Structure 1
Amino acid sequence: MSNSITACGGALRYEFLMQIRRRSVWVSLLLVGLLQIMIYVPHLSELINLYFQIPINQTMAELALMVNTLLPAAFGCLIADRLPRDRRTRVEELLMTMPQSPGVRLIGKYLGSVCATLLPVLVFFLLGTGFVLYHSGNIACIPFALATFGAIILPGILFISAFSLACPAIMWVPLYQFCFVGYWFWGNFLGARNGIPTLNGTILTPSGKITASGIFGLDPKHSGITASAIQGWESLLLLVSLAILVLCILWLVLRWQQARQ
C-alpha cells in the first residue's frame, strides 16, 4: 500500500509539473477568461445591482456559474492530449518498464493534470471573490467561495477531465476537442425549447446549475433552473461517480492495450 501511495504521489508530482509548465495551459485559459470578462464588462453595473441584492451564498453561486461558462470548454481541450503526448514522446514506454501498476500511474496522471490545469481557473475565481468582498464588505463570501468552488465548479471539472483523459485513448485528439466544445455548449446552455434534445437542465449538467439552484438556493431567474436540494446533491454525486467510472474503464482499456503490445 505504501509503495502504491508513493508511486501515485510521484506520478501526480511529475504530471503536475509537466502540465503547469506548459505555456498553452496558461495562455489558453487566461485568454478565455479575459474573453469572458470582456463579455460581462459592458453589463457590470447592471450585474452589481442584480447580484449584490441577493444573499451572499447565492452571489457566490452565481460567480461560480460565471466561471463555469467558458473556462471548462478550454479546460477539457487542454487535458485531452495527456495520454497521446506520452505515447508521442515515448514516455509511456519508459513508464511501462516500471513496477507500478497502470492504475496507480493513471490516478496520479489524472490528479496531477487536473490540479495543474485548475490553477488558472482558481485564479479567476479568486479575483471574482475579491471583487465580491470589495463591493459587499461581507466576509462570509470567503467560506461560501470554498463551498461553491467545491460543490459547483469541481464536480464538473472532475467529470469532464475523466472523459477528456479517456476518450483520446481511442479517438484522434483534435476530433475529440471539436466534439467536446460542441458538447459543452449543447449540454449546458442549449434550451430544450429549441426543439433539440439536450442534457441541459438534467442532473448531468456539469456547469453546476442544478447544484447552484438546489444546494445554494439560486433563484431560477439567475440560474435558469429550478431544482430541489436532493437534485442538487444527486447531480454532484452523479458527476463525481461517473468520473470514477470512466477512469476505471480507461484503466481496463490501458491494461488491454498494454497486454497486446
Structure 2
Amino acid sequence: MNSFKIMWGALHYEFLMQIRRPTLWLVFLGFALFLTNRSNMGDLTAEHLPPLQLAALLALLTNWLTPVGVGTFLANRLPRDRRTRVEELLNTLPSTVRMRVLSKYLGATFATLTPAFLLYLLILGVAVWQTGTFLLIPLGLLCYVVIVLPGMFCVAAFSLACPAVIWVPLYQFLFFGYWYWGNLLSPSFGLPTLNGTVLTPIGSMIGMSFFGISSYRGVVGPYPAINGVVSIMALLGLAILVLVALSQFLTWKQARM
C-alpha cells in the first residue's frame, strides 16, 4: 500500500507539472487552428461516409500532428529532473526505479494527451454539427482508443527514454524528421518508409484493417483485420520494451553514482 501511495503521488505530481505548462496548450491550440482550417471539414462530411468510417478518418487526420506535440513535450522530462536536482531527491525515496519510470511515464503522458484529446473532441464536435449524426460521438471515442492511443503510447515511451542518452534538441529534431518519413511519406513515393507497416504509430495500418480508411482520406479495399491487431500489439509491446530498457539503464546509472 505504501508503494502504491508513492507511485500515485509521483504520477499526480508529473501530471500536474506537465498540464500546467502554458506552451503545451498554446501549441495544441495552434494545431486546432491549423487542422480545422486545412482538414476541409465540409468536404469530409460531404463524402457521405458511414459514421464509423467518418469517425476513423477524423481520428487519423487529427493524428497527423498531435503525436509531434506529445513527443516534443515529453522529451525534456528526465533532463528536467537532472537539471532541477529532483532526480537526487527521487533516488532517496523507498521505491524502485521501475516504479518511478512508470509513474513519470503515465503522469506526463496522460497530461500531454489531455489537450490532444480535447482537440479531437473539437473536430468531432464540428463533424457532429455539420452532419447531425450524434452517433459519431461514441464511435469517435472508440476510434480514438483503437487508432490513436497505441501509437501515442509508443511515441511517449521513446520520447521519455531517448533523451536519457541523446541531447533533447537533437532528439526533437530527429523525431520530427522521423514522423514525416515514417508516417506521412506515402509508400508509393518511391523511398523506403515505415509508413504502411504494423510499426506505423500514426495508426494508418489500424485504420485500414479495422475501418477500411487510410490516413490519406481514401477508402481502401478489404484489409485483413489481423494486421490491425498485430499493429496494436507491436506498438504497445515496443512501448513496454523501451520503458523496461529505460528502467535498466537508470538502475545501472544510479549504481555507478
Given candidates 43, 46, 54, the residue that maps to 2:43 is 46
Please give the alpha-carbon distance, in whole angstroms, between the structure 2 residues aligned to 1:79 and 1:142: 28
> Which deviates further from its counterpart, 63-72 or 139-148?
139-148
CA gap of 1:152–1:75, structure 2 versus 1, over 3 A, is same
Please, which runs of 5 or more residues in structure 1 have no aligned partner? Answer: none
Aligned equivalent of 2:62: 67
Given candidates 104, 115, 119, the residue that maps to 1:124 is 119
Aligned equivalent of 1:111: 106
Aligned equivalent of 2:164: 169
**Partner letter of residue 35 of structure 1?**
F
Aligned equivalent of 1:229: 225
CA gap of 1:19–1:129, structure 2 versus 1, over 3 A, is same
Deviation at 1:45, TM superposition (A): 3.0
Q: Deviations over 1:177-224 (max 9, x none)?
A: 000000001001112333321100001111111111111232687357
Deviation at 1:39, TM superposition (A): 2.0
Deviation at 1:110, TM superposition (A): 0.3
Please give the alpha-carbon distance, in whole angstroms, between the structure 2 residues aligned to 1:250 and 1:178: 21
CA gap of 1:223–1:46, structure 2 versus 1, over 3 A, is closer
SS in 2 for 1:215: helix
Contact 2:60 2:202 in 1 (8 A): yes
RMSD: 1.6
Contact 1:68 1:153 in 2 (8 A): yes
Deviation at 1:102, TM superposition (A): 1.1
CA gap of 1:191–1:112, structure 2 versus 1, over 3 A, is same
> Which deviates further from its counterpart, 226-235 or 176-185?
226-235
Matched residues, percent identical? 46
Please give the alpha-carbon distance, in whole angstroms, between the structure 2 residues aligned to 1:188 and 1:27: 24
CA gap of 1:104–1:223, structure 2 versus 1, over 3 A, is farther
TM-score (norm 2): 0.94
Please give the alpha-carbon distance, in whole angstroms, between the structure 2 residues aligned to 1:93 and 1:248: 21
Please give the alpha-carbon distance, in whole angstroms, between the structure 2 residues aligned to 1:213 and 1:61: 9
* Structure 1 residue runs of 4 or more that deviate by more than 4 Å after TM superposition: 223-226
Aligned equivalent of 1:253: 249
SS in 2 for 1:123: helix
- Count of residues in correspondence between the two structures: 256
**Partner letter of residue 254 of structure 1?**
L
**Partner letter of residue 243 of structure 2?**
L
SS in 1 for 2:56: helix
Contact 2:204 2:214 in 1 (8 A): no
Given candidates 157, 180, 185, the residue that maps to 1:185 is 180
Q: Are 1:3 and 2:2 counterparts? A: yes
CA gap of 1:106–1:224, structure 2 versus 1, over 3 A, is farther
Please, which runs of 5 or more residues in structure 2 have no aligned partner? Answer: none
Please give the alpha-carbon distance, in whole angstroms, between the structure 1 residues aligned to 2:5 and 2:50: 44
**Partner letter of residue 230 of structure 1?**
I
